[in-house]
Amino acid sequence: MNKLKFSLVVLLGACSYGVLSSILKIGFLNGFSFPELLGGQYVFGWFGLLLLVITFSRYKVSSKNILSLLAVGTTMSLTSIFYGLSVKELPASIAIVLLFQFTWMGVLIEAIANKTFPSREKVLSILILFVGTVFAGGVFDGLGQQLSIKGIIFGLLAAITFSLYIFASGRVSTEVPIYSKSFLMTTSATLFVCLVFPPTYLIDGTLQAGLWKYALILGFFGVVIPVICFSIGVPKVGTGLGTILGAVELPTAVIASITLVHEVVSPLQWIGIICILSGIFIPQMLQVQKEKKQIRFREETTEL
């Protein structure tokens, strides 16, 4: 049951990421650029985590852990930057499918790190997720288009950095309290974003002109909640399962686009959403059944 509880925490973090695309779209419609919205997201998210650290965590982190967590944080910001560049070059449906290659990449990274072959449940889940992602991303609506090689490379780089982020969240400095860990990772991510996209919006009046509202929401859903949730849940459920659970981001993004941006979703996309949800929950149920059988077998053996 503990594993189920931590799985729900990871799901919450992934759902939080799923809301971002719709908030970004609303921000674009109101005249704000991707660098402004992304920069605001990280700056406001960093301040939110700083307040949590000051209020709840006075833990002294060793210099070794600080360096490790700062390094992990760069994978967060790189994912956002690469994905943004991919969306700029490609249809959003193709970009999201490329990003979602992180599901099998994460399972592969875990298998290499643990020197074990992925379980049948995980392999089954990856296959179902792949089919679901292709349908939910609306790839078939974009068939026959000329695709930018640069955009494809950026999309795959986003998938690699996101799978590395999830892997590192579950392995690096797990003894450091959650708020301190999340804050340090976000610190380097924010610095990196500010280097790539200088935060001129802080002094040129853009923030006061309404950017602050989007930055506040993006910082909460795009930094504070997911970073804390992944820091809590991934060490407990493992990288492989963590990346599989992260796939719930896409159905959340589609549902958010319906409710917030009033986009139309095709029947094929609904089939994809059902596939993704099945790919996430079927292996979980199979694992629970396996554990119940093992417990029953142990009890019967003990009685004999």
- Segments making up each domain of the chain, as ranges: 2-303
Cα–Cα distance list, 103 to 106, 127, 247 (Å): 5, 10, 7
pLDDT on residue 49: 93
Give the C-alpha separation, 136 to 132, whole Å.
6
SS3 breakdown of the chain: % helix, strand, coil, rounded to 5?
Answer: 85, 0, 15
Band the pLDDT of 145: cuts 50, 70, 90. Answer: low
Q: How far apart are CA 255 and CA 118, in angstroms?
A: 31
First to last CA, the chain: 27
pLDDT single digits (tens) 42-60: 999 999 999 999 888 777 8
pTM: 0.83
pLDDT digit string (tens) for 174-230?
888 888 899 999 999 999 999 999 999 988 889 999 999 999 999 999 899 998 998
